[in-house]
Amino acid sequence: MVSDAHAGLKKAIGQVLGCPWQRCSVHFLREALGHVRKDQQGMVAALLRPLFSAESSETARALVGDALARLGKPLPKVAALLEEAEEDLLVFYVLPTEHWPKLRSTNPLERVNREIGRRTDVVGIFPNDRSLIRLAASVVIEQNDEWLAGRRYLSAHSMEPLLEERETTTIDEEVPALTTA
């Protein structure tokens, strides 16, 4: 599950879904850059962006160590932020390599949300809630169809190792039921 660092959302993901949580790299980078002066943003971004495109988890962790050493004195707040977020930022490295670019940020979801917003702005005022839900659902269905038929979000080939692993693993725990709040 990928999201920003909202504490309540992170806790709910752990309790209800019980799956690994990945902190959105884009949201983290924006937060880190918000703690530095405009003239320092290029340097900080150049130190942090390679963490998310490293060849392996070990390389990424070495880059984090290097970034912490370089940021420690001049920007202690950013260094502390990175040190605290390190584990949550590098979770995607345990997944198949083909999935890394798609599972480290919430950008695809945000694109869908922007498209829903764009289409609702065109309509302006909806006669009732059901018409808004129909429009939003049609956008989501359209995106799903594009990912299935057009350019797949996660290819079938890249999913094979995960599906094989799932078939060989027995799940002894009961899956919690989702309920409304």
The count of other CB atoms within 10 Å of the CB of residue 103 is: 20
pLDDT on residue 12:
84
Domain boundary among 50, 67, 94: 94
Residues 21 and 72 reside in one and the same domain: yes
Q: Are 128 and 76 in contact (CB under 8 A)?
A: no
For the segment 22-36, the average pLDDT, to the nearest whole number, is: 92
Give the residue numbers spanning the domain of 33. 2-94
The amino acid present at 160, given as its one-letter code, is E
Residues 6+ apart with CB under 8 A from 136: 116, 120
Contact 99, 92 (CB under 8 A): yes
Whether 69 and 145 map to the same domain: the answer is no
pTM: 0.68
CA atoms of 147 and 21, how far apart (whole Å): 23
| Model confidence band, residue 158 (pLDDT cutoffs 50, 70, 90) | low
Q: Of 69, 94, 119, which residue sits at a domain end?
A: 94
Amino acid symbol at 74: P
Is residue 179, in this structure, part of any structural domain at all? Answer: no
Where does a domain end: 63, 94, 125?
94
Tokens 């949300």 — which residue?
113
